[in-house]
Amino acid sequence: MTYEAKTTNPCSAFPGEGSSVLSKRETPRRRRTIKDAEAALGRELNLSPMEKRQAMLRVRRARQPKREARRIIDHYQSRVVGDVCRRDGDVDQSDLEEIVAALLRRDGVICPPQSTMLNSLGRRIAEGSLTPAQFRVNAAALLAMVPALPKKFRVAESSYLQE
């Protein structure tokens, strides 16, 4: 007695490995969606290479790549802000001071775009028109800003200002 395979594709017995499964999922539209989601990750997050690789894998394997990219972005932004300020409900001036301290500790100086955004946040906190969710988004944007000057120039400038 000889055994004859009932399928023509030898890999079809394994889910996800047959050409028919891949051809259904890898449409041009899906590739374009994955590319857009990966671009959003690259734009909005400053990840280490290992975190970036893991995030890209999660996006590629997700059923909805753009939604998964948004989840990853929200997770990392809340993690960055959570390291700096507490989550006790209302936003007050001390939360803003913690962000200023984190920026000074990290960069040594506050750049003009950062100071503009800090002033705007301070004004909105004083008015009481800033929700905790809006504060977390703005704080994440502040902490994600890359300084315009290299570290050597920033250190020289801060030492000059301290004299």
> What is the DSSP annotation of 69-138?
HHHHHHHHHHHHHHHHS--SSS--HHHHHHHHHHHHHHHSS--HHHHHHHHHHHHHHHHT---HHHHHHH
Mean pLDDT over 29-53 rounds to: 86
pTM: 0.54
52 class by beta-carbon count within 10 Å (0-12 exposed, 13-18 middle, 19+ buried): middle
Q: Judge whether residue 162 has pLDDT over 60.
A: yes
Predicted pLDDT of residue 105? 85
Q: Would you say 58 and 72 are in contact if contact means Cβ atoms under 8 Å apart?
A: yes
Q: Judge whether residue 93 has pLDDT over 60.
A: yes
Predicted pLDDT of residue 116? 93
Predicted pLDDT of residue 123? 94
Q: Would you say 140 and 81 are in contact if contact means Cβ atoms under 8 Å apart?
A: yes
Predicted pLDDT of residue 154? 76
Question: What value, to the nearest 5°, has the Cα angle with vertex 42 and ends 36 and 43?
Answer: 90
Give the pLDDT confidence of 98-115 residue by residue, as tens digits. 999 988 888 877 888 899
On average, the pLDDT of the chain sits at: 79
Task: Quote the CA–CA distance of 75 and 135 in Å, as a whole number.
Answer: 15
**R_g over Cα of the chain:** 24
